[in-house]
Each structure stands twice: as C-alpha cells, then as structure tokens.
C-alpha cells in the first residue's frame, strides 16, 4: 500500500488563510449563503427535466431512427451535465445546507450509472488531496498502458500515438463506469493511499443501483421501443460516447494541460508546499468568464476555485474567482487559466503528445 503523502508548508506563505478570509468576507458582507440559490435550482430543473424529456421521447416510440439517434446523444450529454451541475455539488455537500437534500440529489449519480459512494472516496478524498501525484490521484490514470497522463508513468510504444486516439478512449469513460470501473474500484484493497473498508449497506447499494440503471436504460428500451437489438446497441453506445466525451474533456482540461505541474514527493514522502499552493500549481481554469461554460460545466471550468473551496456551491465561482486570482497574484502564486475551451483543448493535446515520448521527464 502507498504511504500517505504529507504537505509541509515550508515557505509559510499565508496564501490560503488570506484568500479564505477574503472569500468568507464576501459572503458575510453580502449576506449570501455559500450553498445553492435560485439560479442553482433553475439549473437543476433544466438539466433533470431535459434528461427525463429525452428519455421519455425515446421510450415513447414515436420517432424515426435518425431522431432517436440524436435523442440518444442528447440524453448522454444531459446525463453528464447532471453529474457536473447537480451531483457533483450534492456529493461535496455544497448544493444545500440541508444534508438530506444533498444525499438525495447525490443518489442521482447512481441513477445515471456511476456510484456516489465510490466517487466521494476517489474524488472528494483522494483526488482533491493528492491532485496530480502519481500513484495517488487515480483521476490521471485513465486506461493505464494506453494513455499516459503523468510523466512518472513508464511509457510504452503504443502511447506514442496517444494524442490521436486518446479522445476516442475518453468517449468510453461512462460506458466503462457503468460496466466495469465501479466494480473494480469497489473490490480493490485501496484507492490510492485510501484503504477500502466498505460498510455492508454499500454492497447492497452498488448492485441495487446498477440493476436499476440496467433496467431503465437497457431493459425498458428493448421492451417498449420498436427497434432491433443492433439498433439498440447503436443508440446505447451513442448515448455513452456523447456522455463519456463530455466527461473526459472537461475533467482532463482541469489538470492535464501545459500550465499544470505534476509534483513528486521527496524521499520522506512529503510535498514541501502548502496543500492550497499545491492545488494552485496542479489545477487550471478554462473559459472562466464564459456564462455558457459556467452554465454547462457546473463550475468545473473553474477548478481552481473548486479545489480551494469544494464546500462552496459552483454557482458562486465566477464572482469569487476574481478574489482568488487577485490574491494569488499578490502572493506570487500561479493562477493557471485558459481564456477559451479551444485553447485549453489544444494545450491538452500538446501534453498528450509530449507525454507520448518515452524520454519525457518531469522537468520537460
């Protein structure tokens, strides 16, 4: 098992205490809750309503094959948007001050094919703590042996072309989640340095929610929609390709771009930097000033703010991002961002190409 990495604030910058105080002051002076508001509730109705609408139109069996194919793609995209905009905040406990409501909305994650309990471990605990640290952050271990997203990982000949095929593999992300990833993670001894010791009820939930997903998205369409088995497979794969590509691109653009770093613990297993500064070095924003990106990505285009303040609802990130950026500049700490989605995407492609080289070193 991996030893836990410790963050040693050798420089004593005071950055995090200062930015936290300023962000808290913003909410206090404006008498604003750090959790969701009316805009957040509208997004919830919009994305959840869209998912139900597209599913209902498909199951109604009233449309031709081309229309059904388009509806399948939209269904997959809205599943991803629900994950971004509703479940992500709910599982972090930032959607509402009502813990019961957070828990209920977090269960939507299970109903779109993933497992909220496992996500809370792999994402909330492991990824948010050990961001971009090889062997600890499993979010940068996608398709091991096929895609190399960390300079510490040993390269092979297949990965020489990863910048060409990686985006196709990203599109398989949700399909893998539904059919294999959760099972593998659940029965592993550990996720990073976190030792798995699951409560018995989580075993029941894992299989119960997977069964419900298979029932809703496989069995019912086959029963009620007048299509052949191969037409169903095309629609099912289209749904997951659309969902997986959206998920894969948004998450990878936050940590695997040219500006971000991949720190390596010293011989004592320590990162000689404050945890918050580590987050600033390993995380990047994109389209920070775009209302469309903010609406669709659930604040995941502003991952810098999310990693520093995961308990604050993403609906507030556009405002507090200015506080974070100005404070980072004041303390001489990097604030990584790309003005547009396109620029971040190009940067990610360049990193994929760079990491495809066996001679790639951490300092490159």
The pLDDT tens digits for 40-61 are 999 999 999 999 999 999 999 9
In the predicted structure, residue 283 carries a pLDDT above the cut 80: yes
In the predicted structure, residue 361 carries a pLDDT above the cut 70: no
Where residue 360 falls among pLDDT bands split at 50, 70, 90?
low
Where residue 359 falls among pLDDT bands split at 50, 70, 90?
low
Where residue 214 falls among pLDDT bands split at 50, 70, 90?
very high
pTM for this model (two decimals):
0.91
Helices (H), 256-316: 275-282, 291-297, 303-308
- Position 363 scores a pLDDT of 40
In the predicted structure, residue 103 carries a pLDDT above the cut 60: yes
In the predicted structure, residue 276 carries a pLDDT above the cut 80: yes
- Position 137 scores a pLDDT of 82
Q: Is 333 helix (H, G, I), strand (E, B) or coil?
A: coil
- Position 362 scores a pLDDT of 42
Q: Which of 7-21, 46-60, 279-293 has the lowest mean pLDDT?
A: 7-21
The pLDDT tens digits for 233-269 are 999 999 999 999 999 889 899 999 999 999 988 888 8
In the predicted structure, residue 2 carries a pLDDT above the cut 70: no
Closest by CA to 216, choosing from 80, 73, 55, is 55
Residues 55-72, mean pLDDT to the nearest whole number: 96
Where residue 229 falls among pLDDT bands split at 50, 70, 90?
very high
Distance, CA of 188 to CA of 364 (rounded, Å): 33
Distance, CA of 346 to CA of 341 (rounded, Å): 9
192 or 210, which is more confident? 210
In the predicted structure, residue 282 carries a pLDDT above the cut 60: yes
- Position 265 scores a pLDDT of 87
Distance, CA of 100 to CA of 290 (rounded, Å): 32
Residues 86-112, mean pLDDT to the nearest whole number: 95
- Position 238 scores a pLDDT of 97
In the predicted structure, residue 140 carries a pLDDT above the cut 80: no
- Position 1 scores a pLDDT of 52
12 or 214, which is more confident? 214
Q: What percent of the chain has pLDDT over 70?
A: 98
In the predicted structure, residue 20 carries a pLDDT above the cut 90: yes
Residue 141 carries which DSSP code? -
- Position 142 scores a pLDDT of 78
18-25 contacts at long range (C-beta below 8 A, 24 or more positions apart): 18/327, 18/331, 19/276, 19/308, 19/323, 19/324, 19/327, 19/328, 20/308, 20/309, 22/323, 22/327, 23/309, 23/312, 23/320, 23/323, 23/324
**Pairing of β 6-7 and β 270-271:** parallel
């Amino acid at each position: 098992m991996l030893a836990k990495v410790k963050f040693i604030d050798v420089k004593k910058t005071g950055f995090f205490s200062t930015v936290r105080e300023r962000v808290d002051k913003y909410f206090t002076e404006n008498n604003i809750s750090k959790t969701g508001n009316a805009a957040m509730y509208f997004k919830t109705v919009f994305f959840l309503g869209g998912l139900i609408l597209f599913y209902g139109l498909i199951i109604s069996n009233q449309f031709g094959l081309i229309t059904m194919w388009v509806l399948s793609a939209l269904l997959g995209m809205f599943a991803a948007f629900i994950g971004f905009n509703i479940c992500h905040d709910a599982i972090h406990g930032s959607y509402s001050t009502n813990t019961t409501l957070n828990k209920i909305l977090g269960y939507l994650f299970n109903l779109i094919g993933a497992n909220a309990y496992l996500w809370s471990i792999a994402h909330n605990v492991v990824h948010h703590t050990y961001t971009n640290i090889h062997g600890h952050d499993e979010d940068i271990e996608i398709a091991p042996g096929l895609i190399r997203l960390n300079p510490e990982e040993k390269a092979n000949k297949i990965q020489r072309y990863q910048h060409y095929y990686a985006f196709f593999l990203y599109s398989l992300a949700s399909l893998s989640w539904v059919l294999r990833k959760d099972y593998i993670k659940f029965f592993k001894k550990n996720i990073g340095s976190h030792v798995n010791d699951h409560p018995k009820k989580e075993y029941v939930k894992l299989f119960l929610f997977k069964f419900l997903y298979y029932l809703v998205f496989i069995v019912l369409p086959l029963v009620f929609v007048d299509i052949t088995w191969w037409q169903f497979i095309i629609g099912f794969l289209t749904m997951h390709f659309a969902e997986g590509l959206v998920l894969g691109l948004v998450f990878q653009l936050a940590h695997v771009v040219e500006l971000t770093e991949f720190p390596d613990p010293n011989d004592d297993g320590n990162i000689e930097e404050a945890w918050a500064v580590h987050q600033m070095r390993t995380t990047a924003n994109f389209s920070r000033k775009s209302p469309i990106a903010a609406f669709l990505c659930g604040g995941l285009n502003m991952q810098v703010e999310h990693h520093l303040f995961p308990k604050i609802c993403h609906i507030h990130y556009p405002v507090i991002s200015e506080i974070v950026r100005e404070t980072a500049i004041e303390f001489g700490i990097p604030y990584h961002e790309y003005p547009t989605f396109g620029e971040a995407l190009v940067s990610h492609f360049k990193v994929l190409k760079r990491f495809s080289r066996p001679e790639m070193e951490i300092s490159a």
